[in-house]
Chain A
């Protein structure tokens, strides 16, 4: 049954993306401010403005522009960026890996911190120290990612300057890599010095994204662990003499994981959204940073490409979460 649900959602992907495309396309052209008005130089006449508008195809009716753009997208051509003057698709291919690697690293960090906090909290259940863990998790959750970014920037960039606070790599180093997945490629090729250099730059933005997410994982997992620990099977195991840590790890944890993945997995979309500001603060060269420039410059083709990319990632993420939950939960697998 669950598989059927996944297939149904897959079928809904194209109309969903079409809807997103329509909304972003129309909104961009209805909201005041277009790239030509940003480009008009002193002395330009009405004819000069009209010439520029025609050059970028913005003189056509919205419907005409939309159909032309949709036709291009259908064959994998997202158009040409007005500000960067390159293929939007190429730009996305160049920058998306940086964001994906950042999100991946942030997720790993969040899982480790959140998992440890949840397990520590549950082990300390009923004691005063549990409050300290819960309080710490509350602090992580209360501060948004972009504020964490500023705090980390000042803390580890200025006060105790241990880590670089801008960019993805050291400008003085030539990486000599073939793909834009710098971190993954370096790992695969065993270039651990490059891995270390990349992590050196990525750790602060990844941590800023990870901390609020870690708090969400900690809360969800701890609540699930507590609920599972109170179930009969855990109590029976305890009565049979198994130690509590062993029960928690081997019996309770796998069951508590399902609701955590189901609810927490979806929260990764927040992490993706957070990259926009965090990448900007750390001058990280991902699509989040590029999105802000695109908006400032009213770069319609680039904004459209970016929004569609974010939409695809959000949909894909939700599908992956559903898929993983289905794999983890035999009740869903067997209907």
Chain B
């Protein structure tokens, strides 16, 4: 079956391209005939239909696999409120919590709950709900994959709408996590009444939309929550159609069956955005392409690492393979992240790469050899990108053998420190904090780290518990500079999310990549 997925991916792109080319101008017929006009009228009538790229496995946003799947968070944030909300530019703003913070010596946290918020069943959101949600998330037996963050605070006390808790271990990113993975407030009384199974069948939250109907693997229908504390959503009904195949999503928007879709091939985006009745917009998101370097031979040679970095023309890759939809980067911090430092540059310089390799005795005729692993079809043009990079490397004296693997295998190899010397991956960081990019990707003890060297353990280690935020961010910038100078990872580019929607819709794209229906309205 895994093979079938690969076949599907391959055939989808091949046949899509060729069939659409054959179809040519005929494809404009439904658009010209006003078919899409119906769709806009459909939207104006109060229903927004989104062709969504993943299925929703589970409604509980705090437990299991789906809790740590960033792609599903758009749906969760439509139904549930995170503790703290996030603005389109990744900054944080009041959500169900209106105030939050540490005391001076960072030994306590203070949270203030918004007054007047209600669950979808009409009952009020209480401080007890907040405490119960935090305690449940911190329970080692609860199945929360981020439990290690939530367990760092405990002994909560409630005073009116204010909650205080003791810091058991200082976690500088605690409040940032409250805006993202598993950082949701759930209804204590309702959950205890219906149980986990009952909650899956009839979930309620306090978000702008409540669940109206759910057909697994088919669609989720939401209705506006009349008691929502925030701005009233523009659409009374929202339908998420789960259309996981990109070809089918393109067809769905072309046929007028949906009002909006995203995560489609860039070639299709360019074609569709110029079609009558459709509009397109792009947004750089908090997801980067990178190549892990594992500290095994020959990557223990600094010259080889730096040559591998300087030999890659990232702009050419973005321009030619991604149609210009990408932002080349030099560190694991993309523009907009808290520790982004534009002064750190890793230039494209094949001559420098050659001279570095020559110092270690390698030339194009006598190249250094290693394996690079990559997925194929997991991210747009991933395999083609690695092919291009291998071509660039060959010119300077690096002979890399490409090995294709599935993403699940990547995770397992990475956790076991068994990746090849070079391995392609995409790293998401929706909260934009350096600890969740450079920190976890480059700190030896982390299961996500491929570079286990002591140099970075010593540099990053003290930053985990750094209580001075400015000092912490400056520390990460220094680490990023050091990594760039040592070539211990190869950052490639920041991804750009393509969104296609019917004209007549105003879509506020989020830097964290979420498509939130509450931020979509008739233009």
Contacts and interface: CB of A to CB of B under 8 A. Distances in A.
A194 interface: no
A42 B20 CA distance: 41
Contacts of B242: 283
Interface in A105-161: 146-147, 150-151, 153-154, 157-161
Most buried by B among A33, A42, A95: A42
Contacts of A86: 58, 197, 200
B256 to A, nearest CB: 7
Contact of A37 (B26, B254, B411): B411
Most buried by B among A158, A166, A284: A158
Interface in A285-302: 285-286, 289-293, 295-299
A105 B447 CA distance: 49
B29 interface: yes
Contacts of A154: 19-20, 23, 251
Interface stretch (A12-20, A45-53, A221-229, A260-268): A45-53
Contacts of A284: 217-218
Contacts of A291: 1
A72 to B, nearest CB: 17
A20 B147 CA distance: 37
A171 B221 contact: yes
Given A277-B4, A281-B245, A285-B218, A44 B148 contact: yes
Interface stretch (A77-85, A209-217, A327-335): A77-85
A158 B27 contact: yes
Contacts of A83: 57-58, 64-66
B448 interface: yes
Contact of B251 (A39, A49, A158, A167): A158
Contact of A292 (B4, B140, B248, B254): B4
Given A94-B216, A167-B219, A295 B1 contact: yes
A34 B58 contact: no
A166 B257 contact: yes
Given A154-B251, A157-B255, A85 B60 contact: yes
B63 interface: yes
Interface in B100-143: 140-141, 143
B239 interface: yes
Interface in B198-249: 200, 213, 215-219, 221, 237, 239, 241-245, 247-248
A239 interface: no
Contacts of A147: 11, 15
Nearest to B464: A43
B19 A151 contact: yes
Contacts of B88: none
Contacts of A174: 213
B51 to A, nearest CB: 8
A41 B243 CA distance: 26
B465 to A, nearest CB: 13
Interface in A90-112: 91, 94-95
A46 B244 contact: no
Interface in B21-53: 23, 26-27, 29-30, 35, 47, 49, 51
B251 A153 contact: yes
B245 A283 contact: yes
B238 to A, nearest CB: 10
Contacts of B247: 150, 153, 281
Report the contact-size class of chain A (Cβ under 8 Å from the partner). 35 or more
B145 A41 contact: yes
A274 to B, nearest CB: 10
Most buried by A among B57, B241, B243, B257: B57
B406 A167 contact: no
Contact of B257 (A46, A165, A280): A165
Nearest to A149: B248
A174 B212 CA distance: 10
B57 to A, nearest CB: 4
Contact of B252 (A48, A166, A296, A299): A166
Most buried by B among A37, A55, A157: A37
A39 B64 CA distance: 7
B446 A43 contact: yes
Nearest to A144: B11
A34 B219 contact: no
A305 interface: no
B408 interface: yes
A85 B145 contact: no
A231 to B, nearest CB: 43
B259 to A, nearest CB: 12
A52 B139 CA distance: 12
Contacts of A146: 7-8, 11
Nearest to A173: B213
Given A165-B257, A290-B217, A37 B35 contact: no
B74 interface: no
B218 A283 contact: yes
Given A41-B146, A85-B57, A165 B200 contact: no
A243 interface: no
A293 B49 contact: no
B371 interface: no
Nearest to B33: A161
A37 B411 CA distance: 5
Interface string B385-424: 0000000000000000000011111011101000000000
Contacts of A158: 23, 27, 30, 251, 254-255
Contacts of A82: 64-65
Given A40-B415, A292-B1, A295-B2, A85 B63 contact: yes
Contacts of A40: 145, 411, 415, 447-448
A33 B406 contact: yes
A326 interface: no
A282 interface: yes
A166 B55 contact: no
Most buried by A among B1, B15, B30, B242: B1
Given A150-B16, A174-B213, A37 B412 contact: yes
Interface of A: 32-35, 37-46, 48-49, 51-52, 55, 81-86, 91, 94-95, 146-147, 150-151, 153-154, 157-161, 164-169, 171-172, 174, 276-277, 280-286, 289-293, 295-299, 303
25 contacts: A37-B411, A37-B412, A37-B415, A43-B146, A43-B439, A43-B440, A43-B446, A44-B145, A52-B143, A52-B145, A82-B64, A82-B65, A94-B216, A153-B248, A158-B23, A161-B30, A166-B241, A168-B218, A171-B218, A171-B219, A281-B247, A285-B215, A285-B216, A285-B218, A286-B217
Given A160-B30, A283-B244, 18 more contacts: A32-B405, A33-B406, A34-B408, A37-B408, A37-B415, A39-B65, A40-B145, A40-B415, A42-B436, A43-B149, A52-B143, A82-B65, A147-B11, A147-B15, A150-B16, A154-B20, A159-B26, A171-B221
List the 10 closest pairs (A to B, CB-CB), nearest first.
Answer: A33-B408, A42-B440, A37-B411, A285-B218, A171-B219, A32-B409, A285-B217, A37-B412, A83-B57, A157-B255
